[in-house]
Amino acid sequence: MQDGGRRLIRGARLWDGTARPPTFHGAVLIEGNRIRATGTAADFESIATEVPVDDFPGATIMPGLVDAHTHLVGFGDGRPGDALSDVAPELLLLNAARNVRNHLHAGVTTLRDLGTPGTIAFRLRDAARQGIVESPRLVLAGRPITITGGHLWYFGQEADGVDSVRQAVRQVVKEGADVVKIIATGGSTRTSYPYRAAFTPAEVQAAVDEAHRFGKPTAAHCVSNIGMTNALDAGVETIVHAVFKEPDGTDHFDDAIAMRLASSGAWVDYTVAQGAIRLRHLESVEAGGTPLSHAERAEVDSLIAYRAVRGDHHARLRSMGARFVMGSDSSWMWYPMGRFCEEIIESVIWGLPVLDALRGGTSWAAEVLGIQNEAGSLVPGLVADVLVVGGDPTRDPTALRDVQAVYQSGRRVVGAGTGPRQDPVDEAHP
């Protein structure tokens, strides 16, 4: 709110991003770009005639969503990551601008990008800060650190050997990285070896040590047991994917690694919705009367089998006390940006308690990003990032699909009567 004025938002209920249940007939008072107070509508009855009021009957007022894992430049149309290497950087930047707007309009007021080519992400953030691009608050890794020919090598930061890894970390920090992304195993990149360790343990340790020396947290791409072991040994804060596989690709839930995930304090970004979105699309095509090709039929069978194994591992991790954070991995493969709520919804389907899933996409995600004292909860003094959705997401998370309004730093950016952004984003991180 440019004038530094006040605004009252009222709804059927208010959930503040904590373990507490919603407050019925809830309200939040915004002053400038901050939350002044929260409570019931009755608590603000004396000023309701003095300030602008936005009423949302039947809706829930909650914190803006925080997506802990995105890739800003992807198209979400099924094309593999390798294909991005053939797209001009200028086009990737324009697509990233479209992606962040879609995320914002779906209720995501803060996101963490964990890998983009070159300096595209930083130029996008510059544009957002200047009011050129409508965007969530951006916490950025820039180029991920990978081995020569490793997963995401085409994003531009290959490194081999301890000294080279240290230099690579220094380079991305110089460019503006808020977090250092480490590619601990292979992945979908054609030239990588998916389930083998990429870096040596000493190289992973060097990356983490160097990041921490600059006060930067780390996240590691891990799709095998050895990758998770190396990352945990080095003190990585976020384990991305957490796939329990041996180097030959066989599934093996390692209890010792799982216990370390639960006891180390690391956060697990399990990325559950990617396969679900693709599976539902193929099933809907078939249900609509269009026969699937042989390859598509095989893909359906593979996705069902994959989900069964991953679901079992997810349940075991939950029982051991692992801490889950919601990170979509969009816009990778079939997961376009603007659908982050599916990560929360799918996590609940997999067995995560609703409030845990919601906190994993709001207050806990803010903690992972290091901005819990600025965003992620509806607490007086924090930045006024507010999402209003129809229904009650604390009972039915599909309510997150019904976005009625989005407020970022106190300004209504989505909803009736909102127009293009004119004021720069108030950054809630250094």
For the stretch 159-185, pLDDT in tens is 999 999 999 999 999 999 999 999 999
Q: Among the three residues 315, 339, 363, which one is the final residue of a domain in this structure?
A: 339
DSSP 56-85: EEEEEEEEPEEEEEE-TT--SSS--GGGGG
- More confident of the two residues 322 and 420: 322
- More confident of the two residues 392 and 417: 392
Is 179 in the same domain as 304?
Answer: yes
> Per-residue pLDDT for 427 more than 80?
no
Average pLDDT over residues 180-194: 97
> Per-residue pLDDT for 420 more than 80?
no
> pLDDT exceeding 70 applies to what percent of the chain?
96
SS3 418: coil
> Per-residue pLDDT for 233 more than 60?
yes
CA–CA–CA angle 112, 424, 49 (5° rounding): 105
> Per-residue pLDDT for 424 more than 80?
no
What pLDDT, on the 0 to 100 scale, is given for residue 415?
Answer: 82
Q: Is 268 exposed, middle or buried (0-12, 13-18, 19+ CB in 10 A)?
A: buried
> Per-residue pLDDT for 4 more than 80?
no
> Per-residue pLDDT for 152 more than 80?
yes
> Per-residue pLDDT for 248 more than 60?
yes
What pLDDT, on the 0 to 100 scale, is given for residue 417?
Answer: 56
Is 175 in the same domain as 29?
Answer: no
Average pLDDT over residues 84-89: 95
Is 383 in the same domain as 281?
Answer: no
Is 383 in the same domain as 312?
Answer: no
Number of domains in the chain: 2
Is 57 in the same domain as 69?
Answer: no
Q: Tell me the pLDDT band of 350, cut-offs 50, 70 and 90.
A: very high
> Per-residue pLDDT for 34 more than 70?
yes
Tokens for 159? 């490194």
Report how far residue 19's alpha carbon sits from residue 15's, in angstroms, rounded to the nearest whole number.
Answer: 9
Average pLDDT over residues 294-322: 96
Tokens for 31? 């002053």
Average pLDDT over residues 140-167: 98
Assigned domain for 207 exists: yes
Distances (CA, A) of 387 to 146, 219, 327, 393: 36, 27, 18, 11
- What integer best gives the mean pLDDT of the chain? 95
What pLDDT, on the 0 to 100 scale, is given for residue 418?
Answer: 60
β-strands 218-222, 238-241 pairing: parallel
Domain span at residue 241? 65-339
CATH code: domain of residue 332: 3.20.20.140
Longest dimension (CA), the chain: 67
Q: Tell me the pLDDT band of 425, cut-offs 50, 70 and 90.
A: very low
